[in-house]
Amino acid sequence: MPAQRKRKAEATTPVDENCPTVAMFRQYQLELDTKHDKHERLVKLSRDVTIESKRTIFLLQRLTGSSPDIKILEEAWEKLKAIENIKLLSIAKELDQEDPYKFLRAYSPGLQEYIEAVSFYHYLKNKKLVTLEEVQKDLTFITTCSSMDGIDNGLSQLTTQKIEKMEILDTQCKVICSESEMDKESREVQVHVPPTEYILGLADLTGELMRLAVGSVGKGDLDTPFQVRDFLQLMQSGFVSFGNCGREIGRKLHTLRQSLQKVETACYTLQVRGSEIPKHMLVDVLSSGPSDYGSNFDNDMAANDD
């Protein structure tokens, strides 16, 4: 067998930390870490917005009748304002001087859920749809901040990083401070609401309106289903005017059609067979599938006869 060649020990060249190339990649690493940290903070804030918005929607579902309870509306309004002034304001500060579309996927779920809650509130109070301009106005804030805010946020999130990264931040901080002289001014920050996010939030509203229509029957309110039906028909006529829409909008448009179909079938049942069905059975009949309305009612009546 041929003698095995011994691999010569490779000479290791020490890395010069002061090399411009190394410093450049250190800077790239710092920028990526800062971006990922901001993304994670936005995801957590979005999750909090989603939770609080769902609680507001559950509260609004307690409203019944054509004249809603003022106390519940006021409580829901306070919850919405708390979401805006705490969680969404924090998101707006995170997005200050940033491209909002770069982080849109991080806070999109919370924004859509908030739009759903706000639009549900406006419908119950005013019987109309909230506009994109109204939503954007509520998510525009005047805050007192300085050029140090972004640096402070970065420093607080990088305490475990290496000393070299801290020195880079310190250098950037000194340059910015020398240019702005630490002037604190009131400036406008906002959570940017793209039209697509607004549309997706409104599409989610249709499910809540469907539940409102069916639930109101069990509470003796037989007018709300017909009002919701007319409103959903107007919404569908607006949605179908969209041409080449994305996959997510198409999926939610399908959900809108299903919700409208359930409400229309419920209104048909109330109008045609409402006098036949006892009031205590209306909710069970309307909650069943559209094709099961007749069979469920006949089976229940047969069971009662037995």
* Domain containing residue 238: CATH number: 1.20.58.200
pTM metric for this prediction: 0.74
- The DSSP code for 277 is S
> Domain for residue 302, yes or no?
yes
> Which residues, at least 6 apart from 57, have a Cβ–Cβ distance to it below 8 Å?
116, 117, 120, 208
Positions at the binding site for Mg(2+): 116, 208
> Domain for residue 12, yes or no?
no
Q: How confident is the prediction along the chain (306 residues), in pLDDT tens digits per residue?
A: 555 555 555 556 676 777 888 788 888 888 898 889 999 999 999 999 999 999 999 999 888 665 667 899 999 999 999 999 999 999 999 999 888 899 999 999 999 999 999 999 999 998 899 999 999 999 999 887 554 454 444 434 443 344 344 444 455 544 444 444 445 678 899 999 999 999 999 999 999 999 998 888 777 778 888 999 999 999 988 888 877 777 788 888 888 889 999 889 888 888 876 656 655 566 566 666 554 444 444 444 444 444
Domain boundary among 140, 171, 193: 193
Is 233 found in the same domain as 90?
A: no
Is 215 found in the same domain as 185?
A: no
The pair of three-digit structure tokens given for residue 23, joined into one six-digit string? 């410093």
Is 246 found in the same domain as 185?
A: no
Is 23 found in the same domain as 143?
A: yes
Q: What dihedral angle (degrees, nearest 10) is formed by the CA atoms of 208, 209, 213, 219?
A: 50
Is 222 found in the same domain as 165?
A: no
Domain boundary among 150, 171, 193: 193
Is 203 found in the same domain as 187?
A: no
Is 213 found in the same domain as 299?
A: yes
Is 179 found in the same domain as 247?
A: no
Rounded to whole angstroms, the Cα distance separating 60 from 44 reads 25
The pair of three-digit structure tokens given for residue 57, joined into one six-digit string? 């929607």
Domain boundary among 147, 172, 193: 193
Is 289 found in the same domain as 147?
A: no
- The DSSP code for 95 is T
Domain extent, residue 182, equals 19-193
Positions at the binding site: 116, 208
Rounded to whole angstroms, the Cα distance separating 186 from 62 reads 40
The pair of three-digit structure tokens given for residue 63, joined into one six-digit string? 């409203």
